[in-house]
Amino acid sequence: MALGKEHIRVDKVPDGALFVREKNPIIMSKVIDATKSVFRGIKNGASKFTESVIEGSRIIPSKNMDHKTPLRIDAGKYDPITKMLNVVLQVNSKPQSPGLQAWLKKFSTHAKLATARFNTAAPDKKVEYYRMLEELATNGKHNLKNMKTADDE
């Protein structure tokens, strides 16, 4: 999504650094919503969230699909007792959105935009997958708007 000058503003943060912020939080939300739609459309997306994923590894999308979305979901720690897999929404290295670029400049590609948990024992994996995507999108929008990471919560 190309944004003109009327859609962005430059803010100064407490440490004195300047960053570009989209004036309209709806535009930032659209990037996350569009990514959520891409993730929902991944064939067998829910089946990729298992107890066998390696902590820190990318779950979705595959690296060769980075051009379709500025965000990715990486695996966090898996708890074998609760069967819950922590997942992390992270920003890819070259997002087109000025809001994501500013967030990335302030933090890094390894910073957590949002976190959620995926129940690997859920009876309906697709429902659990959609629930997790919604949670990541909601938390991601909040953190992007407030220029925070999931660790700041």
Q: What is the pLDDT of residues 109-148, one digit of tens each?
A: 899 999 999 999 999 999 999 999 999 999 999 999 999 9
Average pLDDT, the chain: 85
Give the orientation angle of helix 98-106 with respect to helix 25-40, to 10 degrees. Answer: 90
Which residues are within 8 A (CB) of 22 and not within 5 positions of it... i.e. 6 or more apart?
3, 7, 8, 9, 28, 97, 98, 99
Tell me whether residue 92 is exposed, middle or buried, using C-beta atoms within 10 angstroms of its C-beta: 0 to 12, 13 to 18, 19 or more. middle
> Taking the domains of the chain in order of start, what are their residue ranges?
24-97+107-152
Q: Is the pLDDT score of 24 beyond 70?
A: no
* Strand spans (E) along the chain: 8-12, 18-22, 58-60, 71-79, 84-91, 114-119
Looking at residue 15, its pLDDT comes to 46
* Strand spans (E) along 27-111: 58-60, 71-79, 84-91
Chain centroid offset of residue 64 CA: 17
What share of the chain in percent tops pLDDT 70? 81
